[in-house]
Amino acid sequence: MDRTLTVALHGATGRMGGNQHLIRSLLAIIQQGGVPLASGDTLQVEPILVAREEEKLRQLALEVAPQQIGRAVEFSTDLEAVIADNRVDIVFDAASTQVRPRVIRAAVEHGKAIYCEKPVAVELAEAIQLAELCETAGVKNGVVQDKLWLPGICQLRKLRDEGFFGEILGVRGDFGYWVFSGHDPQRPAQRPSWNYRAEDGGGMIIDMFCHWQYLLNDLLGPIAAVLTHAKVDVPQRIDEAGNAYQCTADDAAYAIFEMESGVTCQFNSSWSTRVRRDDLLTIQMDGTQGSAVAGLRDCWVQDLASTPTPVWNPDVPQPINFCEAWRKLPAPPVEENAFKTQWELFLKHVAGEGDFPWSIRAGAAGVALAQAGLLSAQERRWVSPSELLT
């Protein structure tokens, strides 16, 4: 038997709302015939697209959706009416960050299940309030933590579980790429301008530390303290309308995370760097018995036996090709989109099958790390995220 969950997809016209959540997740689920449940039933999903711009919505609902699933889907510019609609089971928000608390509150008022993009809010106090609100109302809730299902990260987790590393000693994360400022009309900025304005909820720390929190927590347990140096490397950029604006949000952040386990993790996150590594995000984990480097999709390993023996001598050309000493792991047989995988888990959870630990409360822990990072950068000192949660 089929059961259908109707999802109000707010922010459908945005990059994430349109590409990852509509096209690669919800429409892909419809296209595959739904989500099989353990009960033998199949869970279907029906999106209602919501945003402010009717023309963009019309194009997604009446042109993009039919190309993928052979029929149109519903759309609306009236968020309040859609949230209040009795047919809607889940309210999902992927609009810009500052709008999120308002959407979550409205959804709770109407007793809907809530799922949203990260960060759940810019301010920690607000993120905690939202978690409490959902818990008190007893509504099912969740936050996107997509990196947990990236194929490269899944390989890293598997290596840890198999004991490949021996004793884990340290982790190094390198994230980012060059984001064009927009001054050259031939090379427009490839990210929305609000990301570079603190007053609009932008900034590297609030954007990426949420990801680093759940990733590190999953791989190594809780983060005890963070030390961050943040910068605005590119002070002026050009916005979507072609106007120059001052960048008020950090676009580079250099952080050391000290784990409760004693492991040290060091993460560079930058929109002002050029890539000379295997992927836009690489995470290297070093242990006594071996090391691994995970990119978004691939993972490379080097065990103790294949570790080269370098000798420092700048007077001769480097005799070792270090890249050759790494072995690329075979790709897993089925590679699913990480957002889609998490969507399926949330849909099943709402249908009564399976826990969903990636809650708004879990999202608030990400905001706590971001706030700790910002405070550390401002006051130039180590900050413990748990200090801010008490």
Which residues form the interface with ligand NHF (CB under 6 A)?
Answer: 191, 207, 211
257 — phi, psi (to 5°)?
A: -110, 125
Which candidate, 291, 294, 272, places its Cα nearest to that of 282? 294
What is the C-alpha to C-alpha distance for residues 300 and 313, in angstroms, rounded to an integer?
A: 27
- Is residue 292 within 8 A of residue 277, CB to CB? The reply is no
Nearer to ligand NHF, 76 or 181 (CB): 181
Give the one entry of ligand NDP, ligand NHF, none that residue 52 binds, where binding means its C-beta sits below a cut-off of 5 to 8 angstroms depending on kind: ligand NDP
- How many residues line the site for ligand NDP (CB under 6 A)? 21
Does the footprint of ligand NDP cover residue 82 (CB under 6 A)? no
Q: How far is the CB of 72 from ligand NHF (least distance, A)?
A: 30
Q: How far is the CB of 207 from ligand NHF (least distance, A)?
A: 5
Residue from 89, 174, 207, 251 binding ligand NDP (CB under 6 A): 207
Does the footprint of ligand NDP cover residue 56 (CB under 6 A)? yes
Which candidate, 366, 346, 383, 377, places its Cα nearest to that of 128? 366
Does the footprint of ligand NDP cover residue 51 (CB under 6 A)? yes
Give the one entry of ligand NHF, ligand NDP, none that residue 93 binds, where binding means its C-beta sits below a cut-off of 5 to 8 angstroms depending on kind: none
Nearer to ligand NHF, 73 or 238 (CB): 238
Does the footprint of ligand NDP cover residue 126 (CB under 6 A)? no
- Is residue 191 within 8 A of residue 310, CB to CB? The reply is no
Q: How far is the CB of 144 from ligand NDP (least distance, A)?
A: 5
Does the footprint of ligand NDP cover residue 112 (CB under 6 A)? no
Q: How far is CA 231 from CA 88, 176, 203, 385, in A?
A: 43, 14, 10, 21
What is the C-alpha to C-alpha distance for residues 53 and 355, in angstroms, rounded to an integer?
A: 36
Q: For helices 360-379 and 124-137, give the axis angle rounded to 10 degrees.
A: 170
Task: Find the angle CA(179)-CA(183)-CA(189) to the nearest 5 degrees.
Answer: 30
Q: How many residues does the chain have?
A: 390
Binding segment (CB under 6 A) for ligand NDP, from list 8-16, 26-34, 177-185, 249-257 = 8-16
What is the C-alpha to C-alpha distance for residues 45 and 179, in angstroms, rounded to an integer?
A: 35
Give the one entry of ligand NDP, ligand NHF, none that residue 15 binds, where binding means its C-beta sits below a cut-off of 5 to 8 angstroms depending on kind: ligand NDP
Nearer to ligand NHF, 207 or 251 (CB): 207
Residue from 32, 33, 53, 277 binding ligand NDP (CB under 6 A): 53
Binding segment (CB under 6 A) for ligand NDP, from list 13-21, 249-257, 265-273, 310-318 = 13-21
Give the DSSP letter of residue 272: B
Task: Find the angle CA(265)-CA(141)-CA(355) to the nearest 5 degrees.
Answer: 75
Q: How far is the CB of 211 from ligand NHF (least distance, A)?
A: 5
Which chain residues interact with ligand NDP by CB under 6 A? 11, 13-17, 51-53, 56, 94-97, 99, 117-118, 144, 146, 192, 207
